[in-house]
Structure 1
């Protein structure tokens, strides 16, 4: 008896639990299942990231083969009937062993006609898993339950609480994390040093630890991640204490991108501790922090007022952030 080779194809932008249900449905009916991910240069989620997700999610199934295919066969100006003729030709050329394909979309019927392949429909009304990749890209927070764990870090919105010493960053990060039932990343410097006598190597270690802490917290965050500080801050203090910024810190800054910054004003009382020593330069330091954001053309919100007012204003910022769709130039 000949082997039955099936095909599931799509952009998987991103792969979600509906896709996984379709793939599992198809896998159980085939000896060999090809999962083909189509890619174009304009995809809003890079192909390498999507391929990594699919590969990890399907690694435990030996009968599934994950491949990529350049989407140079689709002509969006054509009506569906004519467009699927081109798709059929591509499938026959690229996957000659395929005898059946599985899909949930309306293109499946004309594609089956043009290709001569058997077509098996799966949940066309999306009743089993009521979601689409488009909906997730538009409102990832709203459809969070349908996003696989391996995919979620890409959609976590990262908020950096930012500003000079003693403006309430740590307290606000903790309050916001509690309010939104998610994680927060503390200032890692306090785990490494107990005074402002330290070396350039130690400040590099602090930068590395801060970056690793953010990347680890992304994997467990619930839609949002609040970070007490960032690598720009580490660079500012490196410049102050050592009159230089190691290139390692600049490289580490590029490895984490925040969706927005909340720059906190200095209009709250100064609270001294064994690490804070810039109280006499608060205005100057605030201007320095703001300048670094402006130089990088980063999005930020300047928040002043009492601690309770800061919380209220920060929640407004977060609410707007959660409603934002994925950006077309978002690459991580």
Structure 2
């Protein structure tokens, strides 16, 4: 039986002192809430614990009892709960339940969860040692918070789709294609206003259901859909405006230094120039840093790889360019 079904109320507490590099409180809060939406998730820092009057937070290396008494204080003074059970897959669970029983003057049970043992056993320590190598051990909605998302923008006929595919190959990961173009072809070139929001939603759905490695390359974003909605219909759905605020770790804008090529789906050179200017103005107004790439596909690719943070460290997944 899942833990959530065994409880009237499930509380997940997460803290670390010192903080673990790459696993900030904000990141832990986001993926725990995504993974366990029915639970009450409390992720906090040492500063917050002191502000609540339950500090100082014990250090990670402190003895087990220090943490047990600290959590009991947290339950009493912050959460205002008296737990009836603790769920762990560790030997320390028995002692944890005993300390809580002493604090609350009632029996607190330890529900022992089963886990693998031996050299191949899964543990938080193992996963934290290389979240990308052991990504198959965590839920996709958790791993998504450790993927560096790259968005490629550019006007019509600026080579962004070609660049997106080349970059994904170089990084050994996935590229999310532009759904708006597919929708345009489905509609035989006659998009309607209601298509705009659906295009942006589908684009993001493809991003969230992808199975990338370390990086995810996105050929366009809802910001592009917002441009077309405004350009074609003079307005945009409020929901589309919200989706256009989607965050990407790296934003790349392709220069319009390629000769314009009409493939039957594009408008004209003046429209491309108008679109390029809109991207620059909009990204600047939103205070979104972007990498402006010029030249050949190879030159653009090298510029991105040279500026990519974090830099690729797994040579087995970085292809020669």
TM-score by length of 1: 0.64
| Residues 14-163 of structure 1 aligned to structure 2 (within 5 Å) | 36-38=11-13, 43-45=25-27, 47=29, 50-54=32-36, 74-77=54-57, 80=62, 84-88=68-72, 94-95=81-82, 97-98=84-85, 102=88, 104=90, 111=96, 114-115=99-100, 128-129=121-122, 131-132=124-125, 135=128, 140-141=131-132, 143-163=134-154
Query: Tell me, what secondary structure is at the counterpart of 1:227?
Result: strand
Report the counterpart of residue 20 of structure 1 in structure 2.
none
Aligned equivalent of 1:289, options 259, 279, 282:
279
**TM-superposition CA deviations, 1:237-262 (whole Å, max 9, x none):** 333333444434313324x3322211
Structure 1 unaligned regions, length at least 5: 1-22, 57-65, 324-332
Report the counterpart of residue 317 of structure 2 in structure 1.
none
Report the counterpart of residue 299 of structure 1 in structure 2.
289
| Residues 240-251 of structure 1 aligned to structure 2 (within 5 Å) | 240-251=231-242
Report the counterpart of residue 264 of structure 2 in structure 1.
274
Structure 1, 149-158 or 115-124: larger mean CA deviation: 115-124
Is contact 2:305-2:311 (8 Å) kept? no
Aligned CA RMSD, in angstroms, stands at: 4.4
Relative to structure 1, the CA distance from residue 104 to residue 123 in structure 2 (aligned partners, 3 Å threshold; closer, same or farther) is farther
TM-score by length of 2: 0.66
Q: What is the CA–CA distance in structure 2 between the aligned matches of 1:186 and 1:89, rounded to whole Å?
A: 51
Q: Does 1:189 align with 2:173?
A: no
Relative to structure 1, the CA distance from residue 213 to residue 70 in structure 2 (aligned partners, 3 Å threshold; closer, same or farther) is closer
Q: What is the CA–CA distance in structure 2 between the aligned matches of 1:319 and 1:43, rounded to whole Å?
A: 21
Relative to structure 1, the CA distance from residue 77 to residue 190 in structure 2 (aligned partners, 3 Å threshold; closer, same or farther) is closer
Report the counterpart of residue 221 of structure 1 in structure 2.
211
Aligned equivalent of 1:236, options 212, 227, 244:
227
Q: What is the CA–CA distance in structure 1 between the aligned matches of 2:118 and 2:273, rounded to whole Å?
A: 59
Highest RCO, 1 vs 2 (Cα 8 Å, sep ≥ 6):
1
Is contact 1:169-1:264 (8 Å) kept? yes
Is contact 1:131-1:143 (8 Å) kept? no
Structure 2 unaligned regions, length at least 5: 16-23, 45-51, 103-107, 314-321
1:229 CA drift (Å): 1.5
1:129 CA drift (Å): 2.7
Relative to structure 1, the CA distance from residue 236 to residue 101 in structure 2 (aligned partners, 3 Å threshold; closer, same or farther) is closer
Q: What is the CA–CA distance in structure 1 between the aligned matches of 2:165 and 2:43, rounded to whole Å?
A: 45
Q: What is the CA–CA distance in structure 2 between the aligned matches of 1:184 and 1:35, rounded to whole Å?
A: 38
Relative to structure 1, the CA distance from residue 321 to residue 213 in structure 2 (aligned partners, 3 Å threshold; closer, same or farther) is farther
1:178 CA drift (Å): 2.9
Report the counterpart of residue 318 of structure 2 in structure 1.
none
Is contact 1:231-1:249 (8 Å) kept? yes
Q: What is the CA–CA distance in structure 2 between the aligned matches of 1:78 and 1:227, rounded to whole Å?
A: 42
1:208 CA drift (Å): 1.7
